[in-house]
Structure 1
Amino acid sequence: MSFGTEWDGPQVPVSGDGQQAATAALASAAYRDDQVDKIKEADNEWHQSTVKPGRMRLFRPNLGEAFSRAVVDRMLGPGRKPLIQSFGSEPQFVVEHCLAANNIRRERDNRLTAVTVLCGLLFLPGLIAWLLVFQLRAFVAKRDDKRAGTLATVLLLGVAVLAVLFLIRTPFSGFWAWYARAAVVLPVIGWYVAKVICERTAKDLRARWDGLLSGSSVGIKVPEAVPRGPNQTAADALRESLARLTAEQQSNSVFYAGPKGILGMGTRWGSWQLAEDLVPADPAREIHPFRSWDVIRAIHDQLTLLERGPLNTGGFPKPSVKHWIVTPIAEKAGAVSRPEGTDVEAFQVKPHAIQEICNKQQFGKGDRHYLGVQWTLWDGQLVITMMITVTVLHETLRIEVTGHALGPVNGLFWSKPEAPTKEVTKTFKPWETRKVNLPLMTTDEVVRLAVRAPLTWYPPLLNWLGGSLGLPEPFGLRHAWADQPWRHRFMADDALRAATPVLRVVHSAAIKVLAEHGVDTDKFGSRSSALSGAIQDPSPKKADLYDA
């Protein structure tokens, strides 16, 4: 199933497979027509969105309009702040859908603007009068009184009757009489034409919304990202912004925000430490010199073999094993700053710098090195990350393994479009009710879109009048609206089960390196056995909330 669009431009390939379910759920927000305040339902305890109110309710955006505009501005805007990686999803896929949604709405708004100019601005007195009526009706309808809806309807009918009387007995004569009649009638005709335009676009947007959540391949066309000539600097800038977004997604630099855990990987739910003194196996001989990197490299090699096992019973899928540079930031920090300099290229800390940090920056200020093994499971809904660090202080070697889990995308993003309905009492059976379908486009919604359309060319003014959506900072698409995995039994089981084999592989690889360098491994082995027994039944804790 594919939904085309009318403009030209190359088709951007998209993923319709099940492994991109979480990404598709996030992308579907660009096409939604819910109230913008509904995004607050998806917030978690660490990240909250802000809905900035506008000056006039008539210009307010819906969720899809506010979300797509906010995401594009935040992720592609010039001079934007650094982003947090979206593990378990593809941010470029989401951004491209936001761009496509903006294009669909822009095309609709161009048509609505023409209708507004021809049927509204040329007959401005009538347009202002009708807008005042709708504004008064909206004010009456939002009252808590149960009769507010009836009063609003009666108000609109009363104004319609007055308009008919005005058409029959206008106080003007000559040209102005006909102009006055046109000023009353043409805004209504314009409203009907606008309704047809809005309904056609709404059906397209809802079809895309439903297609993303159903696993269908929904086509994206972003023609403005493809330069058609040497002078199209805007297209070049957009293409470079998309490439920069993809490069930043692959960065090996992450940020630790206290109780929030590693941003993008979720909170730290467990920690296991093995720390013993380095004692020569032969008292007559010294330990062969080695560094933390030698231990980390051996652990890395063994972690890449986690999908192998003695029995053909499924087990681990192939993990992603990667070296990370972790930068500490404040819990309430509103922005992050990525490492810069000659040791960084395309958001990647170079291997020699990683090795130097691993060996030297183990105490005091500065970035730290962690080796991470990560699984993306449940169609991108669950991201399990085990982080390993090795430190040597004086004669004590410490191997620390910590567990991080990023849960599923909030259920708000999984709701499919539903036809608007209401319950009414049956005519001959008043004790029973039935559902009736309502028009997809209400009168108020058509007026809202028609009034907003001429101002979409200048978003700052539209945001000032109608309000906008503020994204949680530091912003990353995936972790901003992620729930905890512990409410889902099988997701929780997967996170907990991964800890034991990872811990044992880490310990066995480290102990082998120590033995090869002449270290007495008896105490390390005993301590490892004790930890292996203790981790038989792990339970999630808030490991970063110290009771001090």
Structure 2
Amino acid sequence: MTDGFDFSPGAQVPISGGAGQTAATQALASAAYRDGPMEELLKANSDWATSSVKPPRISLFEPNLGEAFARAVQQRMLGGGRKPLIQSFGMEPQVIVEHCLAASRIRRQRDARLTVLMVVFGVLFLPGVLIWLGVFQLRRTLAGAQNKRAGVLGTALLLVLAVLGAVLMVKLPFDGFLGVYLRAMMVAPIIGWAWAKTICERTAKDLRGRWTGLLDGGGIGAKIPEAVPKNPGESAAEQLRQNLERLSAEQKSNVVFYAGPKGILGMGTRWGSWQLAEELTPADPDKEISPFRSWDIMRAVHDQLRLLERTPINTGGLTPPFVEHWVVCPIGEGAGAVSRPADADASFQIRGAALQKICNEQHFGSGDRHYLGVQFVLWDGQLVITLLINVTVLHKTLRIEVTGHALGPIHPVFNGKPKNRTKTFRKGVKFWETWERRLPVVEAREVVRLAARAPLTWYPPLLEYWGGKLVLPEPFGLRHAWADKPWRHRFMADDALRAATPVLRVVHETAVRFLAEHGVNTERFSSRAGNLSGAVQDLSPRQADVYNA
């Protein structure tokens, strides 16, 4: 089909993450198809969250980057009884999870074939397979040592075993069936390895093709037939489908968490703050101020912020913003988990009377706080700019606070494309010239690792016990766990700084007009708003969440 959809059971999931939000989604989704050591992910740790690696007990069973990432994300995002997730603004977590499921399905199909080979060659010729695996494990252990000569020693041991096997083939002291079996015991694993190499090579090319396709902005959609129930009795498929729907609903939650100096998880640290705080006095001394509440001001500001993309002249302008009422819950800087408020409904949102109560009453002391947020998702989802507005009234003082938050692009580790393995040779006659030969995608030791892991992939907990795993940071969110700072990119930093000025002015103009309509003397408010309007033109990012004693 030309549109890239497959409506057969296990429908092909489109990989487009919505308008302007594809780059970050596809970069993270490509990690599910990658190869290489899983320690590469540790380079992408951010200031907001730090992942780690549980080391293997037997290095022959350790996963590569794609295997560890796909397994960890599936367990954390879809596992039963999981903890609440942090929203991933600027991307679609469900698409990333679907690609993790698709990558795991491809690997399971490969492992099923490798398991058959291991049963045929491993059970019938078990002593020989154990000898070969033992030598590869020894070589892998020695090669991982800091002394580089240890790797050479491991290779030498492998060559010694090969020579010894060849000698035994010729001068074996046994005859009859035992002699034939001993000879076959050393040769059969090599035949099985060659067969396994073909299977691994074909799968590796498929995974790398999907990896490259995602980073190029296209690629094949994720197929997850296990999430499509074919009959009412398939409870596992139905459960998976419900978990994916829950993931999408949780992504749309309007509850966020403030973690001290780490800022609001998923939105980034607070880099700027502008406060307008003046006394409420009546414009006419003979009349009282018309009664109003904080929610009334917020509703008026909300309506004006939705018009931010409009401009009096036809030249550029802001992209349509996403305006939302947020409930910010305070947690500790080193909190290991978050919990949704009791007021949240089945869709993980706080709406209606509960939202208005927080806005109108919870201005001082413990409890959650209400913020009106305007969010811009730019650079194909790589930059998320959020400006939050808070209105509080304490005694006779009305305070309108605008804070800026910025979350940068996904770490460059996720933007790397697969590299071909090549070896350079020098020509014999024209020794000053060289030529390159492309090597197979899968190395010999990688084939052994995959074949050794294949029988254990049917019970992942045992495989993780022996091979180690990727440990995701908590509280976990796909975006903030691997986000870089936006200030390293000149244009991204400019966009974050520029967005603050029009938002601040719209908020102040709307608030002053609202106060004037309700009989409030706005002279001091207008004067203070003018000062802030001038100061915001010379703003620079700073650590507004860090208070120096």
- Of 434-443 and 357-366, more deviation after overlay is shown by 434-443
- Of 350-359 and 24-33, more deviation after overlay is shown by 350-359
Report the counterpart of residue 461 of structure 1 in structure 2.
462
1:344 aligns to what SS in structure 2?
Answer: coil
Q: Quick check: 1:444 aligned with 2:442?
A: no
Cα distance, 1:170 vs structure 2: 2.4
* Deviation per residue, 1:107-156 (Å, 9 max, x gap): 00000000001011221111111111112222333344454444333322
Under a length normalisation based on structure 1, what TM-score does the superposition of the two structures give? Answer: 0.96
Report the counterpart of residue 75 of structure 2 in structure 1.
73
Q: Return closer, same or farther for 1:19/1:427 CA change in 2, 3 Å cut-off.
A: farther
- Of 417-426 and 57-66, more deviation after overlay is shown by 417-426
**8 Å contact kept, 2:212–2:219:** no
Report the counterpart of residue 359 of structure 1 in structure 2.
360
2:404 aligns to what SS in structure 1?
Answer: strand
- Of 184-193 and 131-140, more deviation after overlay is shown by 131-140
Separation (CA, whole Å) in 2 of partners of 1:411 and 1:76: 26
1:327 aligns to what SS in structure 2?
Answer: strand
Separation (CA, whole Å) in 1 of partners of 2:329 and 2:173: 75
Cα distance, 1:422 vs structure 2: 4.0
Q: Quick check: 1:134 aligned with 2:136?
A: yes
* Deviation per residue, 1:389-427 (Å, 9 max, x gap): 000000000000000000000000000111023445554
Stretches of structure 2 lacking an aligned partner (at least 5 in a row): none
Cα distance, 1:352 vs structure 2: 1.5
Report the counterpart of residue 410 of structure 2 in structure 1.
409
- Give the count of matched residue pairs: 546
**8 Å contact kept, 1:59–1:462:** yes
**8 Å contact kept, 2:20–2:378:** no
**8 Å contact kept, 1:69–1:98:** yes
**8 Å contact kept, 1:15–1:217:** no
**1:339 counterpart (322, 338, 341):** 341
Separation (CA, whole Å) in 2 of partners of 1:149 and 1:53: 20
1:536 aligns to what SS in structure 2?
Answer: helix
Report the counterpart of residue 49 of structure 1 in structure 2.
51
Report the counterpart of residue 206 of structure 2 in structure 1.
204
Cα distance, 1:514 vs structure 2: 0.5
1:53-452 to structure 2, matched below 5 A, reads 53-341=55-343, 344-428=345-429, 435-452=436-453
Separation (CA, whole Å) in 2 of partners of 1:462 and 1:15: 34
Cα distance, 1:537 vs structure 2: 1.5
Report the counterpart of residue 545 of structure 2 in structure 1.
544
Cα distance, 1:82 vs structure 2: 0.3
Separation (CA, whole Å) in 1 of partners of 2:299 and 2:478: 32
* Deviation per residue, 1:282-327 (Å, 9 max, x gap): 0111111110011111100110000001011111010000000000
Under a length normalisation based on structure 2, what TM-score does the superposition of the two structures give? Answer: 0.96
Stretches of structure 1 lacking an aligned partner (at least 5 in a row): none
**8 Å contact kept, 2:71–2:100:** yes
**8 Å contact kept, 2:196–2:447:** yes
**8 Å contact kept, 2:51–2:473:** yes
1:497-516 to structure 2, matched below 5 A, reads 497-516=498-517
2:453 aligns to what SS in structure 1?
Answer: helix
The two structures, once aligned, show a CA RMSD in angstroms of 1.8
Cα distance, 1:175 vs structure 2: 2.1
- Of 42-51 and 488-497, more deviation after overlay is shown by 42-51
Cα distance, 1:371 vs structure 2: 0.1
Structure 1 counterpart of 2:408, one-letter code: G
1:454 aligns to what SS in structure 2?
Answer: helix
Cα distance, 1:522 vs structure 2: 0.1
Report the counterpart of residue 478 of structure 1 in structure 2.
479
**8 Å contact kept, 2:383–2:406:** yes
Structure 2 counterpart of 1:21, one-letter code: A
Report the counterpart of residue 12 of structure 1 in structure 2.
13
**8 Å contact kept, 1:86–1:476:** yes
Separation (CA, whole Å) in 2 of partners of 1:240 and 1:172: 62
**8 Å contact kept, 2:5–2:13:** no
Cα distance, 1:340 vs structure 2: 2.4
Cα distance, 1:430 vs structure 2: 5.8
Report the counterpart of residue 496 of structure 1 in structure 2.
497
2:479 aligns to what SS in structure 1?
Answer: helix
Separation (CA, whole Å) in 1 of partners of 2:404 and 2:74: 33
- Of 453-462 and 14-23, more deviation after overlay is shown by 14-23
